[in-house]
Amino acid sequence: MPIYLDHNATTPADPAVITAVATAMVESWGNPSTLYGTGKNARRILDASREKIAALIGADDPSGIIFTSGGTEGNNMVLFGARCSHPSHRMHLITSMAEHKAVLRPCRRLEEQGLDVTYLPVDHLGRVDPGAIRRALTPETRLVSIMFANNEVGTINPIAEISEICRTSGALFHTDAVQAVGKVPLDVKALGVDFLTLSAHKFHGPRGIGAVWIRQPGSGLAPLLHGGSQERGLRAGTENVAGAHGLGVAAEIAFQRIAADAPQMRILRDRLWERIRIEISGARVHGDMENGLPNVLNVSIPGWEAEELVFALEREGIEAGHGSACTTGQTTPSHVLLAMGIPPKEARASLRFSIGRGNTIEEIDKTADVLGRLSFR
């Protein structure tokens, strides 16, 4: 088995999640919209899962959880849904330059459709300045979308402060919390957000299932998919009951373990950085190590292109991520690192290690040993 250090890309499903999904497929295969026992059983599974997700994110009303196929759909649901509910109005949207493509690309598409979009810069840690949001708001700003935690560098944004600013000005506030849910404790009541996106496969649930939490179901969003009236009319189509059950079980496990897992991941992450810092001169860390996600270490290793290093690590049995996009042999540095003001050469040399529940000190030490050796090539 390789040493897997790319948990921000995806995580292995917890064995209890695998059992739950299989059991639901066998025992709860009914259509939750039907009125008889088989369907009612499936509906019970969905609703129990909503309750577990609500507990994880501090939501009082589980009916605000709308199941989706994952984070990409969730973000699209909110961004296009906010637009489609007011198709004839002029509309302004605010987001940041460091968002995931699952926010940036829908925003670009909305711009092509005539929407006015402001892409706010981020500081050297990757953080959005709430003051910049205040200054960018106009009477036409309908939606602000700022990620909770950055997928590449782990930096956490001041979400409660931003949502307060949005509330005062009457704009709706969405946060893409795909990388935060299950890794750090969060509470939608304290955060004051209107919409929150999450995705099961980032916290040991199945791929292809996620949810959007909506403060006031029925207000402010039009559906993306049209058909049946599932999920309060916001997401047509027969629900993925087994996936939703897996998501619920993953949420329950995360809820129970988060207080112990987060500090443990931080210990491993800090140890990895400490070893790299000592062994590789010129290595530089990117992002907010102090207040960011506890599991992410984004580092530039001088003299390497990240892709080369990913392959070199793979040959040594270690899997890590890189932020650059590689299209037809050309490497484009990560838009997040560039937005943080990191020079392109350094950005191209950046690797992302993201620690997970199963990682051990031995794996971290082996990774540091290998990196140290590779840096002397």
Ligand X SMILES: Cc1ncc(COP(=O)(O)O)c(C=O)c1O
| Shortest distance in whole angstroms from residue 208 CB to ligand X | 8
Using alpha carbons, list the distances in angstroms from residue 218 to 139, 214, 234, 252, 320. 23, 9, 8, 27, 41
Residue from 32, 210, 223, 356 that binds ligand X (CB under 6 A)?
210
Scan residues 67-86 and list those touching ligand X (CB under 6 A): 70-72, 75
d(CA 318, CA 5): 7
Q: Is 141 in the site for ligand X (CB under 6 A)?
A: no
| CB count in 10 Å sphere of residue 108 | 14
> Treating both helix axes as pointing N-terminal to C-terminal, what angle do 361-374 and 241-279 enclose, rounded to 10 degrees?
50
What lies within 8 Å, CB to CB, of 225 at 6+ separation is 235, 236, 237
Query: Which residues between 8 and 67 bind ligand X (CB under 6 A)?
Result: none
Listed in sequence order, the residues at least 6 apart from 238 whose beta carbon sits closer than 8 Å to its beta carbon are 31, 32, 33, 228, 230
Which residue from 100, 286, 335, 352 is in contact with ligand X, where contact means CB under 6 A?
Answer: 100
> Which is closer to ligand X, CB of 152 or CB of 261?
152
Figure out which of the listed residues 45, 82, 147, 320 binds ligand X, where binding follows CB under 6 A.
Answer: 147
Compute the least distance from the CB of residue 274 to ligand X, in Å: 26
Active-site residue 84, yes or no?
Answer: no
Choice from 199, 295, 350, 359 touching ligand X (CB under 6 A): 199
- How many positions of this chain bind ligand X (CB under 6 A)? 13
Query: Minimum CB separation from ligand X for residue 159, in Å?
Result: 13
Q: In whole angstroms, what separates CA 187 from the centre of its chain?
A: 16
> Least distance (Å) from ligand X to the CB of residue 147?
6
Rounded to whole angstroms, the Cα distance separating 27 from 6 reads 34
Closest to ligand X by CB, 323 vs 333, is: 323
Residues near ligand X (CB under 6 A): 70-72, 75, 100, 102, 147, 151, 176, 178-179, 199, 210
Question: Which are the catalytic amino acids?
Answer: 326
